[in-house]
Amino acid sequence: SEHQHLRYNPLRDTWVLVSAHRVRRPWAGQVEKPPEEHIPRYDPNNPLCPGSRRASGQVNSDYDSTFVFDNDFPALQPDAPDPGSDQHALFQTRAARGVCKVMCFHPWSDVTLPLMKTHEVVKVIDKWAELVEELGSTYPWVQIFENKGAMMGCSNPHPHCQVWASDFLPNEPALSDRCQRAFHQRHGEPLLLQYARQEAEREERLVLLSPDWLVVVPYWATWPYQTLLLPRRHVLRINELTAEEREGLADVMKRLLTKYDNLFEVSFPYSMGWHGAPTGPHLEEDNSHWQLHAHYYPPLLRSATVKKFMVGYEMLAQEQRDLTPEQAAEKLRNLPEEHYRSREEQVGGGGAA
């Protein structure tokens, strides 16, 4: 906890430099603007609200639960032409096709996931599973991800995520697939299944533990309060979770995100995403080396207005962090699980739709 050292990330076959003593250095850098706390529940000009007209001219349904629509400005399209190839090893191109969807969690703009009721979060999980089932029948990769907060590039405060399906395996899951496969071949057990068991026994980096799930600050974490959410049994994809596991997941997600909000008493920004076994043409393959998991990458380091910057050494040499995973886990573990602002105060009273 006092001296710099390297830690190995087995999911990426990379090393992280941990320099815990640097967190005590004075900060005179950029200070972020605190996130807006008073968000209107309904704004007819917000393109994600029920009944609103989006930039494409499409009008949202008057939804009262989750709502999914095709992204109006998709990064991937199903009918993109083949760009051809230069036929030179240094100038390679290939076709990239897919679909991009937006999924609203709730009809109210001022309700984030930790403020939703557990049964409402279960509906979100059920819809994720539905989309993986639907898109995964065709595409080899379905990426569920949420960017929360302007600090993480989110341009709309309405609670939502995105789901992108691609006809190729992106870099991060391709690397993770390779590492998990190699570990399984050497040890005869999925990497993350063994890792979850070890973390549950050691308890050093444990944040939350339930009969079906655990949350840890991973041993190799890069972001200050990064967490890894894992099932405790062997599960390949989110659509394979039982009803009981989905209810347990909803509870654990709410508890984790409430802890995040309580850390600096602010609606905590982060990027999160689910990684599961490849789909599409890979469905018939042996993917027993895979284990379903979710990554949470929050940028805040010292306060609600001071974040971790991935620049300089991180961009040009390797990942580096100033707070040990054990210190981060202890801080998160000891935070209360009652939200720092009551639901009534946060969303103006009343029950959710």
Q: Which amino acid is at 234?
A: H
Is 23 labelled as part of a ligand binding site? yes
313 is in an annotated binding site: yes
Q: Is 77 assigned to a binding site?
A: no
Q: What's the rounded Cα separation, in Å, for the pair 123 and 126?
A: 5
- Bridge partners (DSSP) of residue 227 are 296
Catalytic residue set: 160
Instruction: Name which of 290, 60, 74 is nearest 165 in CA terms.
Output: 74
Whether residue 159 contacts residue 109, with contact meaning beta carbons closer than 8 Å, is answered with yes
155: annotated binding-site residue? yes
24 is in an annotated binding site: yes
- Give the separation between CA 308 and CA 290, rounded to whole angstroms: 30
* Ligand-binding site membership of 147 (annotated): yes
H helices present in 42-145, as ranges: 118-136
The reply to whether 154 sits in an annotated binding site is: yes
Residues sharing a CB contact under 8 Å with residue 48, sequence separation 6 or more, in sequence order: 60, 102, 104, 109, 156, 158, 160
Region of residue 129 (left: phi > 0; alpha: psi -120 to 50; beta: else): alpha
Could you tell me the sign of the dihedral formed by the alpha carbons of 328, 330, 331, 335, in that order?
A: positive
Q: Determine the Cα angle at 153 with ends 147 and 159, to 5°.
A: 40
How many CB atoms are located within 10 Å of the residue 181 CB? 17
Q: For 279, how many CA atoms within 13 A lie in the half-sphere containing its CB?
A: 24
Q: Is 161 one of the annotated binding-site residues?
A: no
To the question of whether residue 308 is assigned a binding role by annotation, the answer is: yes
According to DSSP, the residues that pair with 18 across neighbouring strands are: 5, 321
Q: Is 156 annotated as a binding residue?
A: no
**Cα 53 from Cα 58, distance rounded (Å):** 6
Question: Binding residue per annotation — 97?
Answer: no
For residue 112, the SS3 value is: coil
**Cβ atoms of residues 160 and 103 within 8 Å:** yes
Q: Does 320 carry a binding-site annotation?
A: yes
- Residue 225 tokens, joined: 């309060």
Residue 20 assigned as binding residue: no
Q: Is 143 assigned to a binding site? A: no
Report whether 280 belongs to an annotated binding site: no
What span, in angstroms and rounded, lies between the C-alpha atoms of 238 and 233?
Answer: 12
User: Which residues make up each annotated binding site?
Assistant: 22-25, 55, 71-72, 147, 153-155, 162, 308-309, 313-314, 320
User: Which residues make up each annotated binding site for UDP-alpha-D-glucose?
Assistant: 22-25, 55, 71-72, 147, 153-155, 162, 308-309, 313-314, 320
